[in-house]
Structures are given as structure tokens and as C-alpha cells.
Chains A and B, each alone.
Chain A
Amino acid sequence: MTKPDNLHWSKINERGSSIGMSLLLFIYTLFGKPLFYLILLPVLLYFYVTGKQQRHAVSKFQANVSLATENRTGNKLKLIPFMQYFEFGRSALDKVTAWMGKIGIEDITFNNKPQMLEIVAEQKGGVILTSHLGNMEVCRALSEEVPQLKVNALVHTQNAVKFNQLLQSISPTSGINLIEVNDMGPETAMKLFDKIEQGEYIAIVGDRTSIALHNRIVEAEFLGETAYFPEGPFILASILKSPVYFMSCVRESKGFSVDFIPYKDKLILKRNQRQESLKEAVQDYADWLSDLAMKAPYQWFNFFDIWQKK
């Protein structure tokens, strides 16, 4: 089943991610931005030329997002495949600078800040569904300003944890706690529920299927074609019986733009109509993500084909 050209993303992503990021960080801290880009470009070109599967995935995404944009606005969107890689490299740099504390609150436009502050003050906790569009790491700058916002991010891979340790060594204070989830059992659900009862938030990405969090998928319309989303994050959101939010952080020509959107007070998946309610929630998420993708197409950092059934 796993032909070399049909790998699960969690396998693909291991391609040099952890070592590569440490190297980039090293270069950036030592030589600064210009040289960072100088070294980054050939690296990105290398990935662009050698990663056939990713290149195809990028072309397909760009074709779909441009068609969806044309259908909505009537305007054609001309996208350059390599730009997807370039943005990805830039987001790596943003991650590093964010962790070094160089991206401050003044660089972030917070679209519904008063509402978020009100929500956080209620201390109800909740589940924040995010995505691989944009750069959530930049949001750590928010923790300076909203210290009560305690976020626990669920990650699937050991790689992410290693990268986190590396970054933690640069910036030990942060409002974000990573939880590695290999096996989603009752004990994990209980632990996460405990966090929510203390008014904390659980952040989880909703656009990648994972082996740990139920490898089951839900179909939803995304940019005009049926795509496959993981059911795990949505089931988790429902089980934790807490408010659910969609959150994004997208790079703009100047700085970043953050959205924190209340989705539901409780995501209820009735046992006898679980699949139907699940499908509805995933479709809402996919619609939100479609809008984001049309707004910032180059910041779609999923280098796999979301429309292909794994």
C-alpha cells in the first residue's frame, strides 16, 4: 500500500525537518537575515527539484485554489509553484524569530482582540482548531499580552518535540506547552480534560490525518473538491465538552494577522448520528480553511495531496 510515491505525510515530513531547522537557526543567529536567505534558497530549490510528490501536491493545491477564487470573485489567480516553497522557508525564519522574541505584539494585527480577551477572562478553557495554513508559532507573542491564555498544543511526531526542545533552549519562557500524543486513549482524554477544567486551551491542527489520533477520515468539500480530513481532532473537541474555536495567523505584507473565531459552545456528536454531525463540523472547518487558503494561498504549508485518499 505504501508505494514510495504514496507516503503518509508523517513519513514525508521527516525529510530533514529537525536537523534542517537547527541548521537554519544556527545560520540565522550567526550571520543574520541576508545570508540566511542566501543559504535557504538553494536548500528550497533542492527540495523543489527532488521532491516530485510534494511538487505535484503543490500544483494541485494551486490549481484548486485558483479555480475556487475565480469561481468566487471572477478574477483569475496566477500562482507560481516555487513561491509555495519560498513562503515555507520564510515561515521557518518567522518561527525562529518568533521564538527569539523578535516578533512582538506590535507586529500582530489582532482582528477580534476585545472578544478574545473577554473569552479568556471567563476561564472556561477550550479547544482551538488550527491548521497548517499560516504560522501559529508567531502567536506566542500573544502570551506576553494575554498571560492567562495557556495553550497546550498537541503534536504527533517526535520531530516536533525535538524542535521544541531546541527552541525552548533559546527562549525558556513561553505560554505554550507541547503534548506529544502517540496513543489517544481514555487516559489522554482525562489529562486534556483536566487542563480544560483549569481554564487552559488545547490547540490541535485539523488538516492532517494522523496515525495516533484515529487514522479515520472524514470527507469534506475543500476548494471545490472532496478532500480528506482527520476525524480525531473533531472527536476530541466533542469529548472535551468545551467551547471550540478556529484560530489562524497569516503573514501579511506588513506583520501578521490573527483571527480567533468562536465556533461552537459545545460540539455535540450524538452517538446514533455521529458520522452526520462529524461531517457537518468538518465541513464548517473546511469552509473556514478554504477562505483562508484563498486569502493567503502561498501560506498553505501542507506539502501533500489533501484530496487524495490515503
Chain B
Amino acid sequence: MYLSKLPLLKDIALKDLELELKTLIIETLNLEDLTPADIISDDALFGEGLGLDSIDALELGVALKKQYNITLDADSEETRAHFASVSALAKLVSSYQ
């Protein structure tokens, strides 16, 4: 019973984190006309989807570093995967908590 509930708790924590990240994205990038509800967790952040650009990616990187003290290896492929969507970012951040 208790064990079966654990993944659920983890999911809730991830959902909270996703919401937190959406707020962070909106605040960092001054997306004043958006609310967290407008950002879909699995949608692409860059290009199509939310439509962020490479400069936004840099801003976001610095904000994540500040907030969660995340460090990434200088591997752009891996970074791209982590920055693909809010849900991917949430997984990255949760691995640091």
C-alpha cells in the first residue's frame, strides 16, 4: 500500500516543480502576457511550441544556476535534451534536490 503510493508522491513533487519552473521561465524572460497555465509541460520550449530563442536559453541557464545551483557539462547535445521542455527541466532539477 505504502510502496505503491511512492511514485505518486514523486509525481506530485514533479508537478509542483514544473509549476515552479514555469513561473521561473515567465519571470526570467519577462513573458508578461503568459501565465503558468499557458505553458504545457511537455511542449517544446524552443523553436515551435513556446518559441523561445537561443538568448532565452542562456538567460534560463543562468537563472537555473542561481536558483538550483545546477551545473552542466559542456556538452551541447545533452543540454539541448535537458532544455527541451518544462518536464525535462523538472527531471533535471529534481536530480539536484
Interface residues of A (CB under 8 A from B): 183-191, 193-194, 214, 235-236, 239-241, 270-272, 274
Contacts and interface: CB of A to CB of B under 8 A. Distances in A.
Contacts of B65: 190, 193-194
Contacts of A272: 30
Contacts of A274: 55
Given A190-B70, A272-B30, 6 more contacts: A184-B54, A187-B75, A191-B74, A193-B65, A194-B65, A214-B55
A23 B61 CA distance: 42
Contacts of A271: 29-31, 56
A235 B55 CA distance: 8
A186 B58 contact: yes
B76 interface: yes
B76 A187 contact: yes
Contacts of B62: 186, 189-190, 193, 239-241
Contact of A187 (B29, B30, B59, B61): B61
B25 to A, nearest CB: 12
6 contacts: A185-B54, A187-B75, A187-B79, A188-B74, A239-B55, A271-B29
B64 interface: yes
A193 B66 contact: yes
Interface in B36-79: 54-62, 64-66, 70-76, 79
Contact of B71 (A190, A235, A240): A190
A185 to B, nearest CB: 5
Contacts of A184: 54, 58
